Amino acid sequence: MTIHRITLSINGSSEQVDVSSNLTLLQMLREKLALTGTKNGCMAGECGACTVMLNGEPVNSCMVLAVECDGAEVLTVEGLAKDSVLDPIQESIIDQGGVQCGFCTPGILISARALLDRKPNPSEDDIREALVGNLCRCTGYLRIIEAVQEASERQLQTASGD
C-alpha cells in the first residue's frame, strides 16, 4: 500500500500526516491524530455521525479519502469552541436540552454550523433539511431544531451589536 505524506489544516493547526491510499478522513482523524470527537456510526455515509467541514462544506468523513485532503482545511467538533468559548450552536444545544447520549452531537453541530455559515437566518424547513443526514435516535430532533434557531438569533444579535 502506497503511503502519502499530506499537509492540511485541522481546526486551524497545520498537520503533516502519512496516510495509506485507502485511509478515510474519518480514520485519519480518529486513529492517526486521536481526534476522537468525530464519531464512527456506519462507515457508509448513512448516519452523519462523522460529519466534519472540509473547506467549509459539511461532508461525511467516512466517505472521503485522507489523500484527497492534501492542502485542505478541516473543521471538527474539537475546533468549534474558540479560546474555550463555546460556539453559539454549542451553547444553544445545551440550553435547549438537545443533547442526550451525545454520539450524534458532534456531527449535528458541524452540520448546523455549516448551515448557519451559509444561511445566518434559516427557516425551520432549512434546518430540518440541513440535518436530514444526521440521524439521532434519542432526542426526536425538535430540541436540536430549536437550538439551531436560537443559535441563529444569538449570532444575529451579536452581529448587530458590533
Binding site for another protein (CB under 8 A): 30, 34-44, 46-47, 49, 76-78, 80-81, 86, 90-91, 93-95, 97, 99-106, 109, 127-129, 131-145
b (16+ CB within 10 A) / e for 11-35 = beeeeebebeeebbbbbbbbeeeeb
Locate 133 and state its grid cell: 443526514
User: C-beta of 113: minimal distance to another protein in Å?
Assistant: 12
Q: Kindly tell me which of 51 and 69 has the beta carbon lying closer to another protein.
A: 51
How remote is the C-alpha of 11 from its chain's centroid?
11
User: C-beta of 57: minimal distance to another protein in Å?
Assistant: 19
Q: Kindly tell me which of 45 and 117 has the beta carbon lying closer to another protein.
A: 45
Q: Kindly tell me which of 71 and 102 has the beta carbon lying closer to another protein.
A: 102
* Cα within 13 Å of Cα(2), Cβ side: 6
User: C-beta of 112: minimal distance to another protein in Å?
Assistant: 10
CA 53, CA 75: separation in Å to the nearest integer?
5
Q: Kindly tell me which of 61 and 134 has the beta carbon lying closer to another protein.
A: 134
Tell me if 74 sits within 8 A of 52, measured CB to CB.
yes
